[in-house]
Structure formats: C-alpha cells, structure tokens
Structure 1
C-alpha cells in the first residue's frame, strides 16, 4: 500500500502519544525472560518488539524474526545461554545479508554452540543452548553496539557474571550506557570503565516494575515536521528530560534548526522559533545514527547544505541507508555524495513534485520522508513498513491535520 500525503494548514498543532522506546523495550524483554520478577509498563507496540516478545514465548524449533535485527542479535545470545534449548533463528532475505559474525565469535569464546546454516557470518543460525561457564570475552566494538548489549543482557544470568573487553573504538556508545542503566534499574550491578564492561551475576533480584520512556527516535519525525513548517506547537508524551536514549540528542540538534523543546509534566512541547539558517549543517552521528535520515531530509527541505559523518552502521541496516537516501533525495532534486561512512548534501533550491519515495523495506525511510509533505504533497511507497517501529504513525499525522490517502 502506498500513501499520498499533503498538508494545507499554516500551523502544525496537536498532541501525539508515542509508545515506549523500542530499544528500552527489547532490552527489558530479554531481562524479563531471564528474571521473571521484572515487570514492564508502556512497552513499545512496534513490530520489532512484538516479534521479540513472541519469540521469547515460543517453543518452536524455528523462529523467524523477519526484519528485526535487534531481535536476531539479542535472541542469539539469549538462546545460546539457555541450557537444553535448541532453535534455528532465521529472518527475511535482507536479514540473511546482515552480519552477525562478531557476536557469534564472542559467544563461542564463552563456549556457545552456534552453527551457520547457509553463509558463514550471517543468519540463519542453529543455536544449541549450553551452560556458559566462562566469564570473560573480547568483542569488536566498532561494528554494532547491539552485539555488546546482547552480551550484557545475558551476563547477569551467567554463573560468574561477565567481563566484556571492547576491542577498538566503540560505536553507538549511548546504547551501551542504556543497557547498563536498565540493568541497574533492575537491581543488577555493573560498571563500564575505559574499554571494559563488568556485569555481576544476579542470583536473587527483588521484584521491580520498569516504566519504559517513550521513543525519542519516533519523536524525531515530529521535530522534522516542526522545522519544516511555518508555525508549530506539537505536544508529545511521555518523555523524561533525563533520558537513557541516545536519540535524546535530537532536541539539541533541532534547536539549531529552529525547534525549541519544552519539558512539561512528562511530555515535551515542540515549538517553531525564529532562527538564523547556518551556511552548512555538520554533525558526527556516530552515537545516534538512527537520526541520520531524518536530519538529512530536514536539511534538504530547508535548503541547507548538510554533512553527516559517523554513519558506518547505516550500510548494514534494513537497507543500505546511505545509498537509499542518495537515491530518493536525488529524485527530489537533491545533489548528494556518500562515502562508506558519511553523507554530503548540497544546498538545494526546491523540491521536485510528483515523485514517489521508495522505502526499501526500511521504516525510517518512510517516516523520515513523510515530513516533507509539510512543504509539498508526497507519495510514500509500501507505507505499512512504518509498523516496524511506529504502527500508528499515519493515524497520528491525520490527527495533526495531514491528508493521508491510501493507494493500493
């Protein structure tokens, strides 16, 4: 299903309820599976979280995670540590192109029994759960923080806990800090010093309820809409000023693009304010790469030159996000150059109308490009892909006054 989007009002006004963070929810579900005394409220309603939740309840011999990369990585570590459980983990064609060798190698250091069923270094995997008695591992830290978080989450269930030595420059470090903080909230002791993480074994955790903060990545699309509008006042709930999520950085980034954030009783209010356009917009997004598509589209809509670095992980996401961005912005009239880890956009003078945006099975392509409909009518292909992280997105746009028409 494709959607046609348009927005005819001068003002962007309204309230949106955003469900729990996908990143927090998925980490907590693994911890809850290992320690049932943990209860969770405001869980994400995303497809990725539902896939993970279903997998953890499954007793089947094969589990298909579809496009859910976090689920694949977290479940690989989880099932490797579940003594007596044997499972095949598989996914979509794209999932079978996404590397997992770094995590498998680390788990094998701990004694895990994992076999590649097709291509070396990639899913599908056969995982035979064993008692992992070793308590120290070294893992490459410059590929994906999810490998490290996967190890951190199973660490407290291991007899001696776990020491994780990080080899190389750490990428997406805020996600590691998030994992550490959630472990702490659940009563699990851990520390992260220099390039070493130590997680203690947890033998007797007290009951605890964890309330998941709403998703800052999802909030970023409304920041983009506000930046591209003439006037805006959007209320989003429920958010904390002191967040565990790395994408909390969106508030500071978009202040430079004319969007002010006000924290008020568990919600944030976004307001469009006068600002002086910078000659160019330069950011290192190594700590928050999921914001890259949104920021790139915003800068294109504002006619700003944009140079984004620290994007090496975008090549191995749901699609090659750098190439996808270049393809679609070029169709709209943008002039884009990309490297292995960077994105460069020249200042543009307008947006070509009548272009359909392809989404490449990537939710963030649909979500990011939808913001341009503030400026000009847009058509988004395969619009249902947003359910991976934000199932109610199109309904929320209608509440804000957008016209959303389905085209089958």
Structure 2
C-alpha cells in the first residue's frame, strides 16, 4: 500500500482554501492538523480491519471507540456539550483521510459526526435530551419520511420501519424521517424529523448488500405507537432554512447552513477518500506486480504499460478535481453563513450539482484503477475490488445519483422550475 511517503503527489492533497470552518472557536480544542494526524494514524488500522468490517456488516465497537477517543464525533458538536464546532471544510479533511483505510468505517464516522451538527439545529430541549446526560451520544438517521406521525397532546405518536440507518449498531439515538399532519384543513402534510432514544426502537438486521456492507445500514423498527415529545421535532423547511431553531442557542454560523448544502458533504467525503486510497493502492501494486500469461509484454511490471500509466494519471486528476469542487463550494457556503448572507437558490443548486459530480468523478477514478489491475484485483482480500464496490454503492445514493441531480440542474439552467430538493 502506498502512502504520502511514496505517492509523490499525496503531500499536495490538502487544499489550503481559506474558510471559517477550518478554525475552531472553542478554547482548548485540538487543531484540525492534530485531528487529521489522528485520522492518518488510524488508516493502516482501518485497512487491516476492512475485510472483517465487511464480513461483520457493521463498524466494530473497537473502531467506534477509536473514533470517540480521537474526537471525531466532537468535530461539529456544539461547545455547550464539549464539541469543537469545526465546519464542513475541516470535516472533509478528517473523513476523506479515514476513507483511505476503510470506506465503510469512514462512512459510519461521517454520518455520526454530521448528525452532531444536525441535532444542534433542533430546539434546545431536544439537544439536552440527547446530550445532557451523555455528551458522547451519537445519532443514526433515516431521512425518508417512512410514516405519518399522529398528533397528540404534547407531541406525536409514531410507528413503522425506517431503512438505511447507517451505523445504527453504535448509535444511542435515531433521527427518523416522518410526515407531519397538516396544521390547517386542506393543507398538505409536511416532511421532517423526530428524535427517538435507543429504548424506543429495535434493529432489523436486513443489511445484506454488494457494496458498503460494513456500514451496518440496517432498518429501525418501532412496532407499536410510541410517544415522542413535540420539542424533538424539526421540519424539513426549518432544516433547509438559514435559521433553524437550534441557531438560537448555537450561534456559530455553521448551524445556519441549510440541510442540503451540508449533509451531502458527509456522503461525498468518504468516496473521495476511497478514490484516493485506490490511486495509492495502484501505485504500490503497479511497481511490484509482474504480468504473466499470453499477453503482449508478458513478464513486465504493470508500471511499464502505457494504459496503466494513463489511467493512473486520469484517476489522480479526477480525485483532485472532486476534492477541489467540494472544498470550493463548502468554503463559500461557510463564508456566506459567517457573513450573515442567505444561501441563495443559485448556490444551493450548484452545491447539489457539485456534490453529485464529485461522487461521479471519484467513482470513475476507482473504475480506472480497477480496470488496470487485472485478475489480481478480484481476490476478496484485495482492497481495490472492495473500493470499487463501495464507490459504486455510494454513487447510487439518492443524494448523489447523477441522473436525478443532473436533471434538476439542467432544468434550472434552462429556466424551468427545478424538480427536486435543494
């Protein structure tokens, strides 16, 4: 496996774009450089555990403890609960670095860390419910509104099944997508989220998949009507605004960034890091692997073949392009929030485009790497085949699906009403 010491371009991976989120406002918080260094130290550990993580279909408790110890789940948590209040640009550095070792583990960390930011946008009492007794509590989530909440005195009754709850095994709370009944007669239901503690739900072990198997994205089940107090509610409209309820007590501008300009960052960061890991793997493999059999140039090292050289260059450029897109948009959103500006529809549409296109670039980079390694890349203990399956899985996530997102962007560019969420 290649690392920064043997990949001559790896030392340039850090993108030094000024952004408010790269500095913590919290006295005594570790520097982002120190946190990223902790992530780098974990890369070989995660790589060694990657095959077992996939077989277990979940991130292990041991790995989760390491993430806690390194402070990764505190990255975007409010200072009131011991968090560091870093922004999304810092978040990208940490998660993409972890993904060089194991995509599924980085994904679990990414969702856990981003949900600390999302919980911070809920009303203050909801935040207290989650963190007052256990500031280290982490939250899984299933965003799609899977059921209609029933309005009752003081809150809501809910029951149903919520799919794709990544890292659910290691979570103490769940963020559940629901439909809320209309406030006025004749109005449409509204979408949003409710927070439920672990005691309210069970896990259905239904995660048997070809890619991202180690994320443990199982189903959450509430099998009978269960009461959730109204203060644990956040509507999608509130989450998409520049002024969610939690911003009243968490005054760092990062908590005013709209949901869809923020959350997809946690989905793109792992795929970019995985693509970088695949490039590094190919560099290490190409220098040592010698071709055999009836091929032109048989007996030569992979590194001597022009197609391998060309694909490696293209993959490396694709990873850099994806990283730059994500950094640019995220830095601009952070600065706009810091300046008190509303994140415009124009900016939101571009963010959605760039999130999906960065995922596509990263997937294509891994495709180029996988096409270069031949039969040696097919073994289940070979990381590149797992990276190929994982990146193909991530790029099919509804938030990153290029077919869906590109249609919405094209509509906007043509002066039509964009159909989709932004």
Answer 1 or 2: higher relative contact order, Cα 8 Å, separation at least 6.
Answer: 1
TM > 0.5 fold call:
no
Q: Which has the higher helix share?
A: 2
TM-score normalised according to structure 2 size:
0.25
TM-score by length of structure 1 reads 0.26
